[in-house]
Structure 1
Amino acid sequence: MASMEEKAGMEPGRQQLNAKEVPTTCLGTQGCFFRRSRRQRNTSLSMELIEAAEEGEVTRIQRLVKRGADVNVGDPDRQGNSALHQAVLKGHADVVQLLLNAGSQINCKNQDGDTPLHCAASSNMQGILKLLVNYSGCSINAKNYELIEAAEEGEVTRIQRLVKRGADVNVGDPDRQGNSALHQAVLKGHADVVQLLLNAGSQINCKNQDGDTPLHCAASSNMQGILKLLVNYSGCSINAKNYHGDTALHCAARCGHTDVARYLISLPGIQVNMKNNLGYTALHISAAACRCDLVNMFLEDDGCQLDSRNKHGNTPLHEAAMNGCVDVVRQLVNANCDVKAENKDGNTPLHSAAWGGHCEVTRLLITGGTNINARNSNGDTPLHVAAQMGHSEVAHTLIHAGCHLNILNYDNMTARDICQDHKDDSHKEIVAEIDSITRIKNDTATRSLADIVLIEIKGVLSDESLWKLSKCIGSEWDAMMVYLGFHQMDIVRVRLEFFCDMNLQIYSLLKEWRNRTPPAQEKLGILADALREVGRKDLAENLLIGIVSEPPGEETQI
Structure 2
Amino acid sequence: MYNELIKASSNTSLDHTVLSASEPPNTVEQPDNDLLYEAIRKGDLERTQLLIEEGLVLHSDQYTPLMLACFYGHLELAKLFYKDNAINERDVYGNTALIHAAWNGHTEVVQWLISAGADINAVNISADSALLVALRFEHPETARYLLTQDTIQTDVPNSLSYEPLVIALVHGYLDIVERLYNNHVDLNKQYTENNTLLHMCAMVNNLPSMHWLLEHGANPWVSNGNHMTPVRIAASRGYTEMVSSLIAKMKNHHHFSEELDYILLGAACQGYGEIIDLVLAHKHHFPNIMMQVALLQATVTNNWTMVAKLLDINPGKALKRINKHYDYGDFEYNYGNTLLHSAAVNGHLQMVQNLIAHGAKASARNYNNDTVLHCAVRSGNIDLVRWLCNQYMPVNQQNEQGNTPLHLAVKLNNLPMVRCLLLHGSSYKIENKQKNSAEFLAKRNPELDQLFQEMRAKDLKHFGINDLHLAAATHEEKALLQILPLHHDFSLKSEDGLTPIQIAAHMGNSGTLAIMLLWEAKGDKKAARILAKELKEHYEAKSSAYLGITNAIKSIDSFPAHRLDALIKLYNSCQYPNVENKPVHDERTVQNSSPRWRGFFCVDNRSSSSITEEIEEDSENEIKSVASQNH
Counterpart CA distance in 2 for 1:326 and 1:98 is 69
**Which residue pairs with 1:228 in the alignment?**
244
Unaligned runs of 5+ in 1: 1-43, 439-445, 447-465, 474-490, 517-558
Residue 184 (structure 2) pairs with residue 139 (structure 1): no
Equivalences for 1:4-403 in 2 at 5 Å?
64=84, 75-76=90-91, 79-82=93-96, 85=99, 91=107, 92-93=110-111, 96=114, 106=121, 108-121=122-135, 122=137, 123-124=139-140, 125-131=142-148, 135=152, 138-139=155-156, 145-164=163-182, 166-171=184-189, 180-207=196-223, 212-234=228-250, 235=253, 248-249=263-264, 251-264=266-279, 267-268=282-283, 271=286, 274=289, 281-302=293-314, 303=317, 305-306=321-322, 307-309=324-326, 310-365=333-388, 371-403=394-426
| Structure 1 residue 184: Cα displacement | 4.1
**Which residue pairs with 2:458 in the alignment?**
436
Question: 1:228 aligns to what SS in structure 2?
Answer: helix
Distance change in 2, residues 1:86/1:493 (3 Å): same
| Structure 1 residue 335: Cα displacement | 2.5
Q: Deviations over 1:194-253 (max 9, x none)?
A: 222123232324455665432243234322121122223225767669xxxx95545434
| Structure 1 residue 348: Cα displacement | 2.4
| Structure 1 residue 358: Cα displacement | 3.2
| Structure 1 residue 353: Cα displacement | 0.9
Q: Deviations over 1:35-65 (max 9, x none)?
A: xxxxxxxxx9x9899899997999999995x
Counterpart CA distance in 2 for 1:227 and 1:468 is 57
Counterpart CA distance in 1 for 2:173 and 2:65 is 38
Distance change in 2, residues 1:512/1:88 (3 Å): closer
TM-score by length of 1: 0.58
Counterpart CA distance in 2 for 1:297 and 1:374 is 34
| Structure 1 residue 351: Cα displacement | 0.4
Distance change in 2, residues 1:358/1:86 (3 Å): closer
Q: Residue type matched to 1:214 in 2?
A: P
Question: Given the alignment, which residue of 490, 499, 509 partners 1:471?
Answer: 509
| Structure 1 residue 431: Cα displacement | 4.3
Larger radius of gyration: 1
Counterpart CA distance in 2 for 1:197 and 1:492 is 73
Q: Residue type matched to 1:158 in 2?
A: I
CA RMSD in angstroms, aligned pairs only:
5.3
Question: 1:222 aligns to what SS in structure 2?
Answer: coil
Residue 433 (structure 2) pairs with residue 419 (structure 1): no
Worse-superposed segment, 261-270 or 227-236: 261-270
Counterpart CA distance in 2 for 1:300 and 1:291 is 15
Residue 433 (structure 2) pairs with residue 410 (structure 1): yes
Q: Residue type matched to 2:509 in 1?
A: K
Q: Deviations over 1:63-114 (max 9, x none)?
A: 95xxxx699x75125x3124664676654457548858xxx583x5313431
Counterpart CA distance in 2 for 1:210 and 1:468 is 55
Q: Deviations over 1:512-534 (max 9, x none)?
A: 89999xxxxxxxxxxxxxxxxxx
Aligned partners of 2:127 and 2:157 also within 8 Å: no
Question: 1:297 aligns to what SS in structure 2?
Answer: helix
| Structure 1 residue 433: Cα displacement | 2.6
| Structure 1 residue 388: Cα displacement | 1.8
Aligned partners of 2:166 and 2:197 also within 8 Å: yes
Question: 1:232 aligns to what SS in structure 2?
Answer: helix
Alignment: residue pair count: 410
Aligned partners of 2:507 and 2:544 also within 8 Å: no
Q: Residue type matched to 1:471 in 2?
A: N
Q: Residue type matched to 1:194 in 2?
A: M
Equivalences for 1:443-482 in 2 at 5 Å?
471=509
Counterpart CA distance in 1 for 2:69 and 2:384 is 73
Distance change in 2, residues 1:507/1:214 (3 Å): same
Aligned partners of 2:345 and 2:378 also within 8 Å: yes
Aligned partners of 2:120 and 2:130 also within 8 Å: no
Counterpart CA distance in 2 for 1:230 and 1:420 is 63
Counterpart CA distance in 1 for 2:79 and 2:356 is 83
Q: Deviations over 1:489-510 (max 9, x none)?
A: xx996367699xx877545556
- Greater helix content: 1
Q: Residue type matched to 2:123 in 1?
A: K
| Structure 1 residue 164: Cα displacement | 3.4
| Structure 1 residue 346: Cα displacement | 3.4
Aligned partners of 1:283 and 1:298 also within 8 Å: yes
